[in-house]
Amino acid sequence: MIKTLDRYILKSFFMTLLVVSLSIGATIVVINMVEKIRYFIDNQVPISLIIQFYIYFSGWVLKAFFPVFIMLSTLFTVSFLARKNEILAMKASGLSLYRIASPILIVVLLLSIGHFYYNEYLYPPANKKRVEIKEFDIKKHSKRRYEQLTNVYRQISPGYFYTIGMFNVPESEGKDIKIYETENNSLRKLITADVLFYEKEQWFLSDGIVRTFNESFKDSFVVFDTLSIPDIKEKPSDLAKRIEKPEDMGLEELKNYINLMRRVGGPYYREAIDLQIKYSYPISSFIVVLLCIPFAANPRRGGIAVSFATGALIALIYFVLFRILQSAGYNEKLPDFIAVWGVNCLFFLIGFIALVKARK
């Protein structure tokens, strides 16, 4: 009987989730399409390419709005069960609200884990294709500017950096390179070369000079035909890679970016907060469900609509506060742990107390 009951509740939940996701997702897609229709017409974008773009765009909708879909689906499912007195009948048969809600809570927890995996491993590659379509096919930007780079600047470590006058990404070859090593704001070594090339997972310079400067600024030099540079860790494709928004990066990609900033002495505080948000945001699906179930399952004076509105309002407050604390963390007004996890901890506690105090 209990297994049948679980199947009944979950079937209602998943059907509602499907309807909510498709209806709200389609609305978001249509609104975006109306905003961009001028670009499609002006640039004569084929319909097949527009469809492909919005297939990838729907992936962003799922990433950004999945907790909202979960929240609304839970409110609808539990409210409908309560309106039809089915929850009352379940309680009369000896089942507590905890037992009634447990299949939804367990499934949402699993969906939160799936949402995390989707955000960090499935979404980033698809999103890059969406961005490529937007840049090269809709806005008609030239791909050549991402293959032929000029005036490249990279830092290897604090006081240790290099510049490349021109670099051809497909051929993995550059010209006019200079490598600087400084100490106490004074130049200690300068390597200049006509050609830079990448071969066998390593960078090489050819036709260059190594100049070394002592404390009295007198220099000595050595001419070389070929010189390997193992300190440059980037690959040719990395030089052409644009710095994406942290929310569009995968987990490993963002970790690598933070490690790079640590190595070169660059700023990474905002990115460190975004890294923690990648773990905390998917959990919001579970927390809003924990908040909504007690209100939807026990309609008070005013009917189900009031309970539904109350649960939705609390969930809305949750997401607003989440973004406010995130912004405060970016500006270093709050410690990063509180900025990222403070709202989750607070509302988990509120949801747990509300579930305990709800009429069983």
* pLDDT tens for the 360 residues of the chain, in order: 458 888 999 999 999 999 999 999 999 999 999 988 888 888 888 888 889 999 999 999 999 899 989 988 888 888 888 888 888 888 888 888 888 889 999 999 999 999 999 999 899 888 888 888 887 777 776 666 667 788 887 878 878 888 898 888 888 899 999 998 888 778 888 999 999 999 888 999 999 999 998 776 677 889 999 999 998 888 887 776 665 677 778 888 888 778 777 765 667 888 889 999 999 999 999 998 888 888 777 765 545 566 667 666 877 788 889 889 989 998 888 898 999 999 999 989 988 888 888 765
**Biggest distance spanned by C-alpha atoms of the chain:** 93
Let me know if residue 258 belongs to a domain: no
CA distance linking residue 91 with residue 2, whole number of Å: 13
Let me know if residue 245 belongs to a domain: no
| 51 and 111 share one domain | yes
Let me know if residue 239 belongs to a domain: no
Which of 210, 232, 254 corresponds to the end of one domain? 232
Determine the structural domain holding residue 210 and report its residue range: 159-232
| 7 and 71 share one domain | yes
Let me know if residue 254 belongs to a domain: no
| 28 and 101 share one domain | yes
Let me know if residue 255 belongs to a domain: no
CA distance linking residue 357 with residue 360, whole number of Å: 8
| 53 and 102 share one domain | yes
Q: Over the stretch 211-268, which tens digit does the pLDDT of each residue have? A: 998 776 677 889 999 999 998 888 887 776 665 677 778 888 888 778 777 765 667 8
Strand order in the sheet with 160-168: 148-157, 160-168, 173-183, 186-199, 202-213, 219-229
Let me know if residue 241 belongs to a domain: no
| 135 and 273 share one domain | yes
SS3 235: coil
| 191 and 300 share one domain | no
| Domain count of the fold of the chain | 2
CA distance linking residue 205 with residue 186, whole number of Å: 24
| 123 and 169 share one domain | no
Let me know if residue 120 belongs to a domain: yes
Q: Give the pTM.
A: 0.76
